[in-house]
Structure formats: C-alpha cells, structure tokens
Amino acid sequence: MTFRLGHLPLCLALLAAEAVFAAPRANADITLVSAGRRVAIHAETQKTGLYVSAVELFEALGGQVTWDAVQKALSVELAGHHWLFQLFSQFVGVDGDAHNLMYPVRYEDGSILVPMASLAPILDFAHPRRVAWNAESATLVVETERHNIVDYRIEEKKNGLLVEVALTRPLKFEAFRSEGNWLNFTIEEGRFAPEKFRRPTRSPLVAEVTAHQFDNSAQLSFRLARNLGPFITRVATSPDRIQVLFEDSTFFMQYPTPENAPVSSTPDPIDVIVIDPGHGGPDEGAIGREDGTLEKDVVLEIGRYLRELINDDPRLRAIMTREDDRFVPLEERARIANEAGADLFVSIHANAARKSTARGSQTFFLAQAKNDEARAIAQMENSSLRFEEERLADTSAVNFILLDMIQTEFQRESADLADFIQQRLEKKLDIPSRGVDQAGFVVLNKVYMPAVLVESAFISNEKEEKLLRKSGFQKNIAKAVYESIKQFKDRYDPVY
C-alpha cells in the first residue's frame, strides 16, 4: 500500500525534523521507465545530491513495502531480495549484506528519501534485470532485455590465455574442463542469446565456441586448440565478469621476475606475508589526545606481534617493511613487497578524527573512495609523502586511475581479505566495528598482490588510546589479522 510518513506519530516526525540539517531543496521528480511504463517518482534536490522517495520507487518497481515505526525501518521485498533501510543510516541491507549509500536515509515532508546516485548501482546489483540511472535526464530505466550474460572476450597474455565472460551483475558459476580440451562455464540463472556467442574467434588457441540456454542456467563452452595446462578462476568487478587464466609455461611470464630467479609453472603457494607498520621516524602519524601516544610506536608493536604469529606457522613467512623507528617512503614499502614476491600485503595503522567521540576499527582495500570519510582517512595516511625527500608517488586523479588498473586483478581478493580481518576484529576487540571500506591509499597502489590497510582503533579517542597502549589489545589485533590470513590461504591457496 502507498502511504506518506505524515501519518507517522508526531514524535517520530519531530525526531526526523531535528536530524535533518538545513539545506536548500526543491522538488525534482525522476522518471522510472519499466515494462513500457513511465512513472513519475517524488524526489528532492538536497545539498548532497538528488534524493528519491523510497516508498514510491520500490512500489513502482513492484515491491512490497512495510514500515516499522518502532525500529524506524523500511522493509522491502522485491524480485526475491529483501531490502532494509534504517532512518538516518547511510547503509542499506540487501539479503543481510550491508551496502554503503554514502549519505544517510532522510525524512522530508512526509517521505523517506534515499540518495539516488548511490542507490542505483545497488538496485542494478540486486535486480534480475539491468537497471541504469541517467543523472542528466533524471531517468531510471529497468531494461526489458532479460540477458545478464553480455559477451565474451579472448586475449592472449604473455603468460597464457585469458578468457573473460562479461555479466550485468555477479552470478554463481562453475568453470571446468571436459574431454576434447573443452573449457565449460555453467552459469546459474544465466540468460543470453546463444546465437550471439556462436561466432568464430580470432585466437588460434580457441577452435570453437558453443552456447546453450537452459531453464535455470546457461552454458558457454570453448574448445581449445591444445591442452594449455592448469587454469585460475577469478571474479572481477567494474564491470562484472568471470575470468579464467590458463598459465602456460610456453609463454613468457606476464610480470618481470628478479634476475636468477627460477621460473616455475607449478602453482605458487600463499606463504609470504608483508607486514607494513605505518609511519616511522620523523613521521609520527596520529597522536593521542590524552597521553600523547604516537601511532608509529603502537603499530610497530602490533606488527611485531603479528610477525611472531606468522613465523611460528610453518606454512607462512613474514617480512616487515620496517622493524624499528625509521622512516620508509611509501613506494619503498611497495618495492620491498614486490621484490620479495610476496603474496599478501597488510598495512597497520591507528585512526584519528577531529571528534574525540569517533571510535572503532575499520579495514580498507584499494579503490576509488565512495564517501567523504574514506577520502579523509586516505588523505591523512597519504600525508606521509611530505616526509619524502623526493616525491616518488604521483597522487593525481589521473595517475591513481592508472595505478588502480594494476590493482584491479587483486581487488576481489583484497576485498575478501579486508572482510575476513574486519569480522575477526569485531569478535576480538571490545570496540565498535566500522566495517570495510575502500579508498586511494598510496601505500597500496603499487603492490602486485592482494593488499589491505587496517585502522585498528582511534588513537584520538581517550578510551581507545588507552587500549592501544596495552599489549593485550595489540596482541588481539595481531591475532585477528593472523587468523584472517589463514582463512584467506585456505580459500585461495592453489596448493591446498
């Protein structure tokens, strides 16, 4: 049923009114185009962008909307997915997973409003059909085309063959080989036009392509011209795609290897872990408000505890970017990791904020920041560049995009490692969890491996500063990271 929040209890309306900052706004309805219909949806222009009525939008999409006045939560059932919006929260739950809206859900003039620009990609992710937002025309289009498998691409790399299958959204799949040198993809809920995929390929390594559409899945198969040996499967994003890389020893290695280093076609185990205690030397990092605790000292102790845990594990070996109170340039830290042929890179820090009430742990991976808070944290950590005699790193937007392309291959793995770490920090530390986020950290953007940055706690918070000084708290942080590395190894290590 359609309703306006003017029917809510007066106390809730007053609460909402107090929580909204004063900002110029104007009605700016958007148009929803779906199944041949054009529907006007109530929207308002705020200081932080265009907001749309969540109730009107989801009902127009065919969803069932329920308002919980006690919890101040909007629940939506749409296309087999459950959405949960919380008033004043910047996160929305979709099937139990949190997605960042960047700006909080608002209450204005009897409507629950959500930021349109950040809602659109989440809608596209969760909706069975392609959802596209055009900001210039203020139009949200739900495409009638039901295909979610878009195309395929075959590319010969220096170290093998890359096969990519482009998707409109993440889909579950299985990649396997069968007799006759066939590489097969079975994609659950996959939908495509088979005739589009049965085309000749220009690659001499792929002799034939077949495609079959079934009721609840799709199968795409490539007959290889010869046996290319083992392959690695990855899921990539922006855009969503499945990647299969055949690592063929008859090809040159894709990345240069150190001189005199043996070249092997056998899978490389995940065993070398680089621990990067942030700051050091004249770069003190953040300073505690109450006791003057230095970030550089705290994170070095955490790094030492982590090194001990890793080196006690016969399957792993730790390398520190710094083992004492000295300054190491950000790009030098990346060079240490790359030349060691490391498999994971973990940079350890302590957070800081202007507000002394800010609390909690948070873990980041490398990608363009999606909110102001993440940008601010990255700017704070990147400020170490001012201590470098020569500015080795170009932090311009254009260069970051280029560097981000290097990390794209590892972005999914980095995000998974960040998630593993954050889950364990939440269990082991008696402080709030601020979740996983992404931002442009210079120290991460030139390492050729999965990499994360851990903000262990807020040194600018009186209580958390005292915790950061305690060895027990430092050891718990190290244990959380170590256990997460083991979990990552169990999932991704090709040897096990």
Q: Which residues of 54-65 are buried (b: 16+ CB within 10 A; e: fewer)?
A: bbbbbbbbebeb
Q: Is residue 266 part of a domain?
A: no
Cα 119 vs. chain centroid, distance in angstroms?
16
Q: What pLDDT score was predicted for residue 10?
A: 37
The single-letter code of the amino acid at 65 is V
Which residue, among 372, 334, 367, has the nearest Cα to 441 in the 3D structure?
367
Residues 308 and 450 grouped into a single domain: yes
Q: What's the CATH code of the domain at 168?
A: 2.60.40.3500
Residues 134 and 49 grouped into a single domain: yes
Residues 305 and 441 grouped into a single domain: yes
Residues 127 and 168 grouped into a single domain: no
- CA-to-CA dists, residue 300 to 88, 236, 280, angstroms: 37, 34, 8
Continuous segment of H or E residues that includes residue 133: strand 131-134
Q: What's the CATH code of the domain at 63?
A: 3.30.457.10
Residues 444 and 296 grouped into a single domain: yes
Q: Is the CB of residue 230 less than 8 Å from the CB of residue 177?
A: no
CA gap 370, 100 in Å, rounded = 8
Q: Is residue 258 part of a domain?
A: no
Q: Is the CB of residue 174 less than 8 Å from the CB of residue 257?
A: no
Peptide bond into 24 cis (omega under 30): no
Sheet holding 173-178, edge to edge: 173-178, 182-188, 217-224, 206-213
Q: Average pLDDT per run of 10 along the chain, which is 496 residues long?
A: 39 39 56 85 89 94 89 88 89 84 86 92 82 87 76 76 86 89 91 85 86 89 86 79 73 39 56 92 88 93 96 94 90 86 92 89 72 54 47 39 46 85 93 81 72 91 94 95 93 68
DSSP 8-state symbol, 262: P
Residues 110 and 166 grouped into a single domain: no
Q: Which of these three, 142, 159, 177, is where a domain ends?
A: 142
Q: Which of these three, 184, 212, 247, is where a domain ends?
A: 247
Which residue, among 243, 242, 253, 250, has the nearest Cα to 225 in the 3D structure?
250
Residues 176 and 93 grouped into a single domain: no
Q: What pLDDT score was predicted for residue 376?
A: 57
Q: What's the domain count of the chain?
A: 3
Q: What pLDDT score was predicted for residue 97?
A: 78
Residues 138 and 153 grouped into a single domain: no
Q: What pLDDT score was predicted for residue 323?
A: 94
pTM over 0.85: no
Strands (E) across 389-450 are located at 433-439
Neighbour-count burial of 357, counting CB atoms closer than 10 A to its CB (0-12 exposed, 13-18 middle, 19+ buried): exposed
Listed as own residue / partner, the contacts of 378-381 with beta carbons closer than 8 Å and 24 or more positions apart are 378/439, 378/440, 378/441, 380/286, 380/352, 381/278, 381/349, 381/441, 381/442, 381/443, 381/453
Q: What pLDDT score was predicted for residue 301?
A: 96
Q: What pLDDT score was predicted for residue 249?
A: 44
**Is 343 in a helix, a strand, or coil?**
coil
Residues 185 and 55 grouped into a single domain: no
Continuous segment of H or E residues that includes residue 119: helix 116-126
Q: Is residue 341 part of a domain?
A: yes
Residues 17 and 117 grouped into a single domain: yes
Residues 168 and 241 grouped into a single domain: yes
Q: What's the CATH code of the domain at 417?
A: 3.40.630.40
For residue 162, what are the contacts with CB-CB under 8 A and spacing of at least 6?
A: 153, 154, 155, 156, 243, 244, 245, 246
Q: What pLDDT score was predicted for residue 260?
A: 43
Q: Which residues of 344-356 are buried (b: 16+ CB within 10 A; e: fewer)?
A: bbbbbbbbbbeee
Q: Is residue 263 part of a domain?
A: no
Q: Which of these three, 87, 115, 142, is where a domain ends?
A: 142
Q: What pLDDT score was predicted for residue 7?
A: 40
Residues 397 and 301 grouped into a single domain: yes
Q: Domain range for residue 297?
A: 272-491
